[in-house]
Structure 1
Amino acid sequence: MNLKPAALLCCLLSPSAFGGETAKDFLGDFVIGAYQLIGKAPDSTSTYQGALQIYSENHQLKIKREIDGAVIFGEAAIEEAAHGEATVLRMRFKENNVAYESTCLVQSDLDNYARISCHLYQANNESKSSGLEALFIDHHKL
């Protein structure tokens, strides 16, 4: 069978390709795990490193961020972006009473784990320049 790449992609992303699971559900399951985090704060040149865990609780994606000894919990979701042309991971949390949101692209690394890159910004759009975060699977916590 000679399928064009676009046709093959449509077949792979159809719900029947996942045994009834949608592409959104598949991506939600794919991102669950423990990650090493490196980042740059919004409106700043300061950098940081830490850990982030994405987990499911009551069928909702949750996050646990650990940076410089501070632990922050938040929520995550697989959402559409760019007027429905892209699917992204969105994470939301509060730090020092400031609401933050990140919009993340999810790719696969060479070992078929999620590799996640994010733009981090204040949820009220007051950030002049977004922060950046990269998440790499933590092989020590598998």
Structure 2
Amino acid sequence: MATFAPANVLDFGGAQLIYELASAIFPAVKKMKGDYSLGQVAKLYYSFIWITSPLMFWGAYLEIRRQSDSILTKCKEKKIFFVLFFLIFSPLCTFILLNFSFESKNVDDIRVYLSFHSRLGMPVWGGIVPTSASVMAAMTAFGIRYFCCVFD
């Protein structure tokens, strides 16, 4: 999408609707400024990525649940790993990824350059934060759900 979208993509009705929906639900989309070289393309791309992040969360959660027997067996042996990883590290990473991403406007920052100034860099770096946040949130949900199974 980021590679082939026209520069004025938000002038089309459907694209503007997707952006408004995403910015109403996710504050990270609203934080993005339009003064980058790919302003409208970046806004639409990140709107789409953040709207699909709940689907990524459920996909990750279902995959973790599918492998829950082997994970729980290992966690019962090493309970400290379970507590540190699923109940401390994963929620912390989720919080950090959702609240402290892409606020730098320094063009020397490679993340900012790839995310907002390169049509090829946007799909590479742009999907990392929401995907990682979704996976970490899925691991947190798994840890909360199976907490009693590990400590019985």
Bigger relative contact order, structure 1 or 2, given CA contacts below 8 A and separation 6+?
A: 2
Larger Rg: 2
TM-score, with length taken from structure 2: 0.27
Q: TM-score, normalised by structure 1?
A: 0.28
